[in-house]
A and B are shown apart, each in its own frame.
Chain A
Amino acid sequence: MNSPIDKSQLISRLENILPPDSVLHQTEDLHPYECDGLSAYRNLPLAVVLPNEIAQVQAILKVCNELNVPVVARGAGTGLSGGALPLPDGILLSLAKFKDIIDIDPVQRIARVQPGVRNLAISEAVAKYDLYYAPDPSSQIACTIGGNVAENSGGVHCLKYGLTIHNIQQIKIITIEGELLTIGGSGLDSPGYDLLALMTGSEGMLGVIVEVTVKLLPNPESAQVILAAFNDLIKAGKAVGDIISAGIIPAGLEMMDKLAIQAAEDFVHAGYPTDAAAILLCELDGSRAEVEENIKRVQHILEISGATEVRIAQDEAERETFWKGRKAAFPAVGRISPDYYCMDGTIPRKHLPQVLKTMAELSAEYELPVANVFHAGDGNLHPLILYDANKPGELERTEEFGGKILELCVEVGGSITGEHGVGLEKINQMCVQFDALELTQFHAIKKAFDEKSLLNPGKAVPTLHRCAEFGAMHVHHGELPHPELERF
């Protein structure tokens, strides 16, 4: 494991498997792969391989296993947590050539697709059957379904339609030994352990996904969106609880704060009330009768919750305009600040006032403004920290501030990541969310699949050593599971 990797031997073995143009190893060819969506971290791998057949992936993994070469799998590289960041002593396995939609079964409402198929391409391909694929991460135009499974991606419709895990039925993976395994089945369940759940969101640490069978939903007969403005963020948060208490599960329920509203409005002119402290966007879908009834109920709830203004989109064009601002919120913030850092914590919604208050205090302390975009229905916060990477020390201050926000999420019973994954970005905060025994259990799970730790090593689950260095080791009952490890 520790012996240095003979690069020329590795390249020649890989070139025995793939055509020469599918094995990239010249520095200039490697640069496009040096990072994923978290561009603050960059590495060049030893080589990038671009197979287009399952047998090639099996052969590549067998070679890597034999030569002890780490493997990082990559879809479109849109991930925001550094999960697809290459390793300098490893290869990058791109699944980008696996772009075929293998089969669509409109009766059973499933589609079997290769991992490099784009999320949105699935919905486009099945639109003729009046079906769609529900999870819609904001990168859906570019991100691939293989990456979605690896990250358990979400989107704005999770409250009603769930995450990736709720919308897939079967996957095929290749183990590090090169074995092809089918996980899940043709029915709604499969025998044995729920390996489908274990693989989903495992960030490329357990196997390489080479096929995904997704579940499809019928397009709702009707969808309608309502926009409400509030002069107080806390009132907006309470209104979310009021809607849900009334027994209504919106298809989407989004909140934006003043800074995010203003940035979005300046950018796309969605007609947002820029004097508001917060806006809520609530989308309802279902049968026409149901949506008509629920829109009236939500309107009433919002009015009595203290909304200063409630607007119902009058037609499809206005509905799209309402959403346009929300969907453009990230790039809009990008226009008002040289750089921004997007966080992804999740909290029980009742703690929103406390979290917002502490976040404002931290913002003042670190002298870095924060714009808040919030999947309010499911408690997933996306605070955007505004900074300037050209100012010395500002990125480090931003990361520290971001880390504090995540720790705050854990403190109130939430999670450090709702949908972006841990990757490399949040690996230190894993030491806050989980104690040493739990992390040790995660390592044992990895070992069950990947004995030599060659699949995306160093990501998603920190070593206890790293946690000790980070100073956030949670000691359980005063005992550490590995007292032999040095602590700093």
Chain B
Amino acid sequence: MSKDNSQQIQSQILDAYKNKSALSICGGNSKHFYGHKSNATSLDVSEHKGIISYEPTELVVTVRAGTQLSELESTLNESNQILPFEPPHFADNATIGGTVACNLSGPARAYNGAARDFVLGSRIINGKAEDLKFGGQVMKNVAGYDASRLMCGAMGTLGVMLDVSLKVLPKPETEITLSHQCDINQAMFNMHQWVKQSLPVSASCYDGSQLFIRLSGNDSSVNSSRKIIGGEAIKNSPFFWQQVKEQTHTFFKTNKPLWRLSLSSNTPPLDLPGETFYEWGAALRWLKTESSVEEIRDKLDALGGHALLFKNNTLDIQAFHPLSNGLLNIHKKLKNAFDPENILNPGVMYKDI
């Protein structure tokens, strides 16, 4: 189950660099729907896999990028630990490299942090086929620019991730999910209020008629908080959040464009046609709609948020929210700093990087 394939990966990148031919980085291909497709030669990183080191008492795991997320999570589970950002898999063969490269996080994100918050260090191969290590295996490390976090969400466009070190946390002793029938305004009020009361909220969502709040922690804390929050305890809490996380919940069964809107959590419901599913204390909103891209993005621009066309890009438009000219300019220069021949996943995020 463990294999160091770094030399093959490096030599394929070196060839591509010399020939100026683009590569399409592929782990488990579980997120094929995300971003833009590339027709470039495939660079398979799924064979570079295995857990390199895991120290439960240090709360740190170092893993090869091609390791399957399910294998990593099951190893952590044996020591009663978790990836605190609760990443979605979207398919059985999802890898940790792809997860970090897309910076994908699940229901706990608003309360525990995102994938990028738990990255301590990484080893990458840049577009010049150079093998580079940034960050490390310790929680506090401010030596050099934070190039390892820069890789999170860069979708491989700055470097091919070989190994990544992540901070892990103990698994909460217990969890419970409470549901309340209410309108969205009441739901938003409650989501903000309960977190502000320092209750151990670890996930929240609103499906259009019901608010769901997950509490995680030790028994005494969860039980005392449950009395404050009230509502009905749902039967199978892990299964419910699994459905939300993996988008197997009925809301997500659609052929319509599915937009991911990220914005200030206290923004009132948006005046856009379609149905909305709220997560992360209302800071993340999934919108099923056939509204025009301009209408959606203008609205999000005005709010300082962003709109990503997450799935069903039938419109064949730029999936990621456009960057301001100033930021796009920095992106292009950074891309050039890591990948001067533009060979790593070109165009999967934005046309020019």
Chain A residues in the interface with B (C-beta under 8 A): 105-109, 130-131, 151-152, 154, 158-159, 162-163, 165-166, 170, 175, 179-183, 185-195, 197-198, 200-202, 205-206, 218-221, 241-242, 244-245, 247-249, 286-290, 292-294, 346-350, 375, 378-380, 413-422, 426, 430, 433-434, 437-438, 441-442, 444-449, 460-461, 476
Contact = CB atoms under 8 A, between A and B. Distances in A.
- Central interface residue in B55, B138, B322, B323, by most chain A CB within 10 Å: B138
- Central interface residue in A106, A245, A290, A375, by most chain B CB within 10 Å: A290
A380 B321 CA distance: 39
- Central interface residue in A130, A154, A190, A441, by most chain B CB within 10 Å: A441
Given A249-B170, A293-B218, A108 B265 contact: yes
B138 A347 contact: yes
Contacts of A187: 262-265, 283-284, 304-306
Given A241-B57, A286-B221, 6 more contacts: A163-B140, A187-B263, A197-B116, A289-B223, A413-B136, A441-B147
Contacts of A420: 142
A197 B141 CA distance: 13
A107 B144 contact: no
Contacts of B134: 438
B256 interface: no
B197 to A, nearest CB: 7
Contacts of A426: 143
A441 B338 contact: yes
A340 to B, nearest CB: 21
A415 B320 contact: no
- Central interface residue in A107, A165, A292, by most chain B CB within 10 Å: A107
Nearest to A241: B57
A175 B200 CA distance: 40
Query: Top 4 A-B pairs ranked by shortest CB distance?
Result: A186-B304, A197-B149, A418-B140, A247-B170
Interface string B47-69: 00000000111111000000000
Interface string B246-290: 000000000000000011111100000000000010011000000
B117 interface: yes
Interface stretch (B205-213, B236-244, B329-337): B329-337
A185 B145 contact: no
16 contacts: A165-B117, A165-B149, A180-B326, A181-B326, A189-B153, A194-B149, A201-B142, A219-B198, A247-B80, A346-B141, A415-B142, A418-B142, A422-B144, A433-B143, A434-B133, A438-B144
Contacts of B321: 191
A287 B145 contact: no
A221 to B, nearest CB: 5
Interface string B184-207: 000000001001111110000000
B142 A193 contact: no
B24 to A, nearest CB: 19
A249 B113 CA distance: 16
B126 interface: yes
B349 interface: yes
Given A191-B321, A414-B138, A287 B144 contact: no
A421 B113 CA distance: 24
Contacts of B217: 286-287, 290
Contacts of A179: 326
B91 interface: no
B142 A152 contact: yes
Contacts of A347: 138
B198 A442 contact: no
B298 interface: no
B340 to A, nearest CB: 9
B327 A185 contact: no
Contact of B170 (A197, A248, A461): A248
A231 B351 CA distance: 63
Contact of B140 (A182, A288, A380): A380
- Central interface residue in B142, B144, B308, B331, by most chain A CB within 10 Å: B142
Given A241-B57, A290-B218, A441 B138 contact: no
B40 interface: no
B341 interface: no
Nearest to B308: A191
B99 interface: no
A348 B144 contact: no
Given A193-B153, A445-B337, A461 B144 contact: yes
B198 A221 contact: yes
Contact of B264 (A106, A108, A162, A221): A108
Contacts of B36: none
A190 B220 CA distance: 37
Nearest to B306: A191
A166 B145 CA distance: 16
B78 to A, nearest CB: 13
B140 A441 contact: no
A106 B334 contact: no
Contacts of A346: 136, 138-141
B173 interface: yes
A438 B147 CA distance: 10
A137 to B, nearest CB: 12
Nearest to A419: B140
A189 B158 CA distance: 19
Contacts of A422: 142-144
Nearest to A379: B138
A455 B80 CA distance: 46
B185 to A, nearest CB: 13
Contact of A193 (B110, B150, B326): B150
A417 B142 contact: yes
B224 interface: yes
- Central interface residue in B110, B132, B331, by most chain A CB within 10 Å: B132
Interface in B155-173: 158, 169-171, 173
Nearest to A183: B327
- Central interface residue in B59, B80, B336, by most chain A CB within 10 Å: B59
A288 B227 CA distance: 14
Contacts of A442: 144-145, 147
Given A190-B262, A286-B217, A441-B338, A421 B57 contact: no
Contacts of B154: 193-194
Contacts of A191: 306, 308, 320-323
Nearest to A415: B141
Contacts of A190: 262, 306
B103 interface: yes
Contacts of B322: 191
Given A109-B195, A247-B80, A294-B218, A185 B304 contact: yes
B114 interface: yes
B89 interface: no
Contact of B327 (A192, A434, A438, A444): A192
B137 interface: yes
B143 A416 contact: yes
B312 interface: no
